[in-house]
Chains A and B, each alone.
Chain A
Amino acid sequence: MEPLIIADHAFCSRLFAGTGKYASAEAMTESILASGTELVTLSLRRLDLQHQTDNILKPLQSMGVKLLPNTSGARNAKEAIFASELAREALQTNWVKLEIHPDPRYLMPDGNETLAAAEALVKKGFVVMPYVHADPVLCKRLEEVGCQCVMPLGSPIGSNMGLASRPFLDIIIEQANVPVIVDAGIGAPSDASLALEMGADAVLVNTAMAVAKQPEQMGKAFRLAVEAGRLAYESGLGEKRFDAAHATSPLTEFIGALS
C-alpha cells in the first residue's frame, strides 16, 4: 500500500483513531495497538483539581503514535486559535485538528469560523486538519488557505450512521489536492472500507471502536477493513454495469452439450 503523506509525515496506516469514550485507559491502549493506527487525537481541558483522571498520555507516547490535539470545546475562531496554541505548548506539536462547534447538542461544525481560524493558524505555522461538513466548496476554500488535509464528516459525531454524506464526499475526493480524511459517523468497519474504496485517503474512527464490547477486537476489525478498502482502491474496482448480467463462466454451452 502507498503511504499517506500529510505535511512532512508519512503514515503507513490509513486509520486514525480518537481516544475518547473508552471504559478505561487499558481498553483504549489495547484497541489502539490492535488498530495499527499511527495518529491519535486528544483533547485539552481545564485542569480538574477535584478528580484525578487516567493518565492516557504516557501509554500513547510509549506506543510511539503521533498525537493530534483537537480544539473541541471551541465555539468560534478566536477560541479555537487559543486552544491550538495551548495544545502546541501542552503536546509540543504544531499539528491540530481544528473543530469548532457552537452547538453542543448536534456538534455541527461552523464552516465560517473554521475557515477563518484555519487561515490564521496556517499563517502561525500550524499543520491544520479541519473537521467540517461534507461541503465541497468549503473543503476547496480550506485547501486554498493552506490546510494540509480536509476532514469532512460522514454523518453526525457518534451517530454510527456511516457515510450519509456520500454524494458530497465523492465530489470532495474528486476535487481535492490534499488528503481527504473522512471523520465522524463511521460506525462499522464496512463504512471505513467503503470510504477507502471511494478514494478517501484515510478515516478517523472513535466511537465505533471505543464503545464496542471488545474494543481490542474492533480495533483489529477496523485495521483489516481500512487495509482492504485501500488495497481495493489501488487495485482498481470494476465499473458498475446496469444493462444486463455478464456471466463469468460459459455455463450455457456446458449444459447444452448434455442434450
Chain B
Amino acid sequence: MQIYLNDKPFEFDGRYVQDLIDTLQKESNGVAVAIDQNIIPRSAWETTDLLASCRVFIFESIAGG
C-alpha cells in the first residue's frame, strides 16, 4: 500500500509502525513517530496500524546547539 512518509509517497508492505521502522533499518533510539500530528509512543509502535494513505512523520536526533 501507499502511505505518505514525511510528505512523500512511500510504498510499504507491513502493517504496524514498528514494521516501517524495521523497513527503514532505523533504531528506536533517538527516533519519534507521528501520524497526522499525533505522536505515537514507542510502546505503541508494535500495535499501531498504518492505514493506506496515512501521513506518517518520522523524526531523528541530530547534532544541534
Contacts and interface: CB of A to CB of B under 8 A. Distances in A.
A44 B60 contact: yes
B65 A46 contact: no
B64 A90 contact: no
A23 B24 CA distance: 26
Interface stretch (A49-57, A139-147, A190-198): A49-57
A86 B34 contact: yes
Contact of A19 (B24, B39, B64): B64
A107 to B, nearest CB: 10
A157 interface: yes
A43 B61 contact: yes
B56 to A, nearest CB: 10
Interface bracket on A: 35 or more
B1 interface: no
Contacts of A20: 63-65
Contacts of B58: 46-47
Given A47-B24, A47-B26, A207-B65, A89 B60 contact: no
A82 interface: yes
Contacts of B34: 86
Interface in B25-62: 26, 29-34, 37, 39, 41-42, 57-62
A72 to B, nearest CB: 5
Contacts of B29: 57-58, 61
Given A45-B59, A46-B57, A18 B30 contact: no
B6 interface: yes
A48 B31 CA distance: 12
A98 interface: no
Interface residues of B, number: 24
Which residue, B8, B37, B41, B62, has most C-beta atoms of chain A within 10 A? B62
Interface string A65-98: 0000110100000000010011101110000000
A160 interface: no
A46 B32 CA distance: 9
B51 to A, nearest CB: 20
A82 B64 CA distance: 18
Contacts of A54: 63
B8 to A, nearest CB: 8
B63 A90 contact: no
A45 B31 CA distance: 10
A109 to B, nearest CB: 13
A207 B59 CA distance: 24
A202 interface: no
Contact of A57 (B30, B39, B42): B30
B57 A44 contact: no
Contact of B39 (A18, A48, A61, A85): A85
Interface of A: 18-22, 28, 41-49, 53-54, 56-58, 61, 69-70, 72, 82, 85-87, 89-91, 157, 204, 206-207
